[in-house]
Amino acid sequence: MEPLNLDDFITHIDRPDSGVRRDAEEWRAGRSPRPGTLGRLDELGLWLAAAQGALPVRPLERPRVVLFAADHGIASLGVSAGEPATAVRMARAALDGESPAAVLARRCGAGLRVVDMALDCDLAELPEEVVRHRVRRGSGRIDIEDALTREEAERAFRAGMAIADEEVDAGADLLVMGDLSVGGTTPAGVIVAALCGTDASVVTGRGGSGIDDLAWMRKCAAIRDALRRARPVLGDQIELLRTVGGADLAAMTGFLLQAAVRRTPVIIDGVVGAAAALVGQRAAFRAPDWWVAGHSSGEPAQAKALDRIAVEPLLDHGVTAGGGVGALLALPLVQAAAELWARLPERAQRGALDAAVDDIT
């Protein structure tokens, strides 16, 4: 297998079609209600038109949710309220249709897929299609050792690329990306702090599990120690993911970049996805134009990462659950924008009531 060269993504990723975006702005100017009155729905409509390269926008008929599952060795330090090596329970709940993400995915008409990248459980505990991309059982404790080997990091990254290709080839027109992990916000915080040049305390949050003050201090110390190991490898994104990331973060980065190659928009969930997006932006600066952030998780590392890649969250409802929930809450908003931008009437066709509403607004 040829060595992984992330510089190739700079060549292979273009921005969404700027010509179609200009045409979409003109198209919208002739539609009712008046431009600007639909707020973020108009922004999303412009984004989807450029991403699809089509006008009117095509309704989103096959959204797909992909959740990357892994256990992180750093969880053994008590940096999460969740017990170490229990992410498999989250995976099973999602597969059984019982997790919040599974419920929301059904409501939105989205297929859901769980991918085991590094769960700390026997392979026989999960279906073969879930575990076939696993690169190892759990990850290293990033404050004192590498999360992965170089070969494992590359395998995980390529797996993420392959999964994006599989979903797009199967007809997905929008991807929703999330993670299932215990302790995953800690490596995410390390990556964000390293790439943004900030201290551990700036990026250390309470995580989706809502840790207490003592756990927060342990988490901050773990991020500080891992940061010392991260800084010497900042020039190599795969080395960074290998040293202080994990198989899920590596796979999510590959997934995001390959989705951009395939010109398929992605809704990102939470701080782990934001950290992967930040690494992806370092590899290909145009890639973030294909992504939106579903929600603000309240994690300072997520806010820092999204600010750096200039992506603004669609929602802020105080959701900290992770597991794709926040991104799925935003999915109906994106679907609504697509439906509206597929069917907005011309101004000449609007009735007296529409005109009166426009006059009021």
Give the number of domains in the chain.
2
> 126 and 255 in one domain?
yes
The residue among 104, 101, 35 whose CA lies nearest residue 69 is 101
If you write DSSP's letter for every residue of 7-50 in order, what string do you get? THHHHH---S-HHHHHHHHHHHHTBSSPTTTTTHHHHHHHHHHH
Measure the CA–CA gap between 171 and 301, rounded to whole angstroms: 33
Q: Indicate whether 159 belongs to any domain.
A: yes
Per-residue pLDDT reduced to its tens digit, 126-161? 999 999 999 999 999 999 999 999 999 999 999 999
pLDDT at 354: 55
> 140 and 21 in one domain?
no
Q: Indicate whether 309 belongs to any domain.
A: yes
CATH code of the domain covering residue 242: 3.40.50.10210
Q: Indicate whether 132 belongs to any domain.
A: yes
The kind and range of the H/E element at 118 are: strand 111-118
> 234 and 142 in one domain?
yes
> 183 and 326 in one domain?
yes
Q: Indicate whether 166 belongs to any domain.
A: yes
pLDDT at 125: 95
Measure the CA–CA gap between 358 and 99, rounded to whole angstroms: 42
> 351 and 237 in one domain?
no
- Which domain does 344 fall in, by range? 8-58+340-360
CATH code of the domain covering residue 347: 1.10.1610.10
> 14 and 115 in one domain?
no
> 171 and 108 in one domain?
yes
pLDDT at 358: 57
Per-residue pLDDT reduced to its tens digit, 219-228? 999 999 999 9
Per-residue pLDDT reduced to its tens digit, 95-129? 999 999 999 999 999 999 999 999 999 999 999 99
Q: Indicate whether 329 belongs to any domain.
A: yes
The answer to whether 229 and 243 are in contact (CB under 8 A) is yes
pLDDT at 140: 96
> 107 and 165 in one domain?
yes
> 350 and 213 in one domain?
no
> 53 and 70 in one domain?
no
Q: Indicate whether 2 belongs to any domain.
A: no
pLDDT at 277: 98
> 81 and 180 in one domain?
yes
> 155 and 30 in one domain?
no
Sheet holding 291-293, edge to edge: 111-118, 63-71, 174-182, 266-268, 291-293
Which residues, in sequence order, are CB contacts of 225 under 8 Å at separation 6+?
143, 144
Looking up tokens 């996805």, which residue turns up?
273
Residue 208 or 177, more confident: 177
The answer to whether 69 and 91 are in contact (CB under 8 A) is yes
pLDDT at 353: 46
Q: Indicate whether 3 belongs to any domain.
A: no
Question: Given the DSSP bridges, would you call strands 111-118 and 63-71 parallel, antiparallel or unpaired?
Answer: parallel
Q: Indicate whether 1 belongs to any domain.
A: no
